[in-house]
Amino acid sequence: MKALPWHLVLIVACGVSLLPIAWMVGTAFKFQDEIFTSFLSPIPHRPTLSNFLYVWDRIPFARYFFNSLVVAALVTAVQLVTATLAAYGFTQFRFPGREFLFYAVVASMLVPVQVTMLPNYLVVARLGWLDSYAGLMAPHLAEAMGIFLLRQAFRSVPASLVEAARLEGATHLQVIRKVFIPNLRPVFIALGILVFINTWNEYLWPLLVIKDENMFTLPLALQLFVSEEGGTSWGPMMAAATLAALPPLLAYWVAQRYVVQTFLSAGIKG
């Protein structure tokens, strides 16, 4: 009974968090005249797909979806590789300044993204990567959060396993592939999902480096669509938002237990 008030608070918090998503999805399936007559109800009385068909005909949605998918998938794959190699180095090699370098990496998470955005833009522009996939991906290929999470996870693997593999002649890459990845698969899955969702939802950086509409990612395309519709076509706008939110929501739903376990484990180990 002592936990009942906390459960009620959590239920209310979940309801407040989920209501905008329910309203977005429900509005996407409503006719325009029904949206404001049943404004507070997320359930459509006469479900329709007309808003989705309108969005599909109005903008090259498949092209924007493809751009977001390519960028998010490649950034996720490369960032998993860079974070794995960095975490392995911080846990398996002893060298002067190791702890200082690790805490410097962790401290970089506190730097606002707006501070690094201008230097990153100048580098990308100097390399001629504006309006390209390389320009969209370059600043996100190695980030401190992934290194921190994997370093904490690598420390949980018994040193005897690594030593046994090394005594049998395994190289460092073989140790990563045969010892760390099989034992820490949930952590890798959780990190991959988080990186994919963050990259998929990125708005500021693509807004800065992409001017060619053919290279727009979905967040930019949504903003363009809302501007062209004048901010009044709520049904099509919610249909577009629903389609854009579907991949990250599905990814998180599939791997949510891995994400929660990873953050709890990293927090406990400190």
What pTM does this model have?
A: 0.84
pLDDT, one tens digit per residue, over 10-60 is: 889 888 888 888 888 888 898 888 877 766 677 888 888 998 998 888 889
Rounded Cα gap, residues 8 and 11, in angstroms: 5
Rounded Cα gap, residues 229 and 124, in angstroms: 32
Per-residue confidence at 265, pLDDT binned at 50, 70, 90? low
Q: Is the pLDDT of residue 267 over 90?
A: no
Which candidate, 64, 220, 68, 210, places its Cα nearest to that of 125?
A: 210
CB 148 within 8 A of CB 178: no
Per-residue confidence at 231, pLDDT binned at 50, 70, 90? low
